[in-house]
Amino acid sequence: MSENIIEVKNLKKSYNDGETVTTALAGVSFEVRKGEFLAIMGPSGSGKSTLLHLLGLLDQATSGSYRFVGKNVNSFSSDELADLRNREIGFVFQSFNLLSRTTVLENVKLPLYYSAIPEHEWDKRAREAVESVGLGNRMDHGQAELSGGERQRVAIARALVTDPEIIFADEPTGNLDSKSGKQVMSVIQHLNEEHGKTIVLITHETSTAEHAERIIRLMDGAIESDTKVKNRLTAEDEFKK
């Protein structure tokens, strides 16, 4: 069995508004191995958000091939893609996307309602996920009682609760101050190094990207460079304090 969790070849995405065709991805090819921490960088309009949506099974390519966890997903139906996405993928977004007027534990438990995981396991799984991001003392707190960094860690716990194969983090430090950003990156790096989670990070910040093992840089819908990080940053484990 291949050790690659992602294999894309000549992946293209175009949008047609009836008058003009806009190319968002011009044919990208790369692989992501299981357990790898990859950062994808690029300026606005470079195609990184489009690529995230394709890799996360939120959209389908115009052409090219995409194998995810060994499956050729090009011909999958919407229902099949949704099922695979719910089982194998966790998402962390810049805006947190937490439900208001619900506790930390309830927010983290939400993906379990749409999973095949037995209900009697939900509470245990959610508590373990919250503990794993250093918020065990915040289980019953509401969103309004949390800092921005704590809200993002709740979002990470929610992404983890179904034990996905891969986590896509889209600008996870974009709305945070420097200290909170370091704490969030420490959590993400810990999940990769200690728990073996595959991480694909979308960011425009070089200091954030350098927590990864490898950086792909996009420009005008194409891969400009694909390099290993020589001096990988180590985030401080401030969330444990």
Dump pLDDT digits (tens) for 83-125: 999 999 999 988 888 888 899 999 999 999 988 899 999 999 9
For the record, the structure tokens of 145 come out as 């009682």
Each residue's pLDDT tens digit, 2-39? 699 999 999 999 998 878 889 999 999 999 999 999 99
**59: number of Cβ within 10 Å:** 15
The string of DSSP codes covering the chain is --SEEEEEEEEEEEEE-SS-EEEEEEEEEEEEETT-EEEEE--TTSSHHHHHHHHTTSS--SEEEEEETTEE-TT--HHHHHHHHHHHEEEEETT--PPTTSBHHHHHHGGGGGSSS-GGGHHHHHHHHHHHTT-GGGTT-BGGGS-HHHHHHHHHHHHHTT--SEEEEESTTTTS-HHHHHHHHHHHHHHHHHH--EEEEE-S-HHHHTTSSEEEEEETTEEEEEEE-TT------GGG-
pLDDT at 240: 47
pLDDT at 9: 97
Each residue's pLDDT tens digit, 30-77? 999 999 999 999 998 899 999 999 999 999 999 999 999 999 999 899
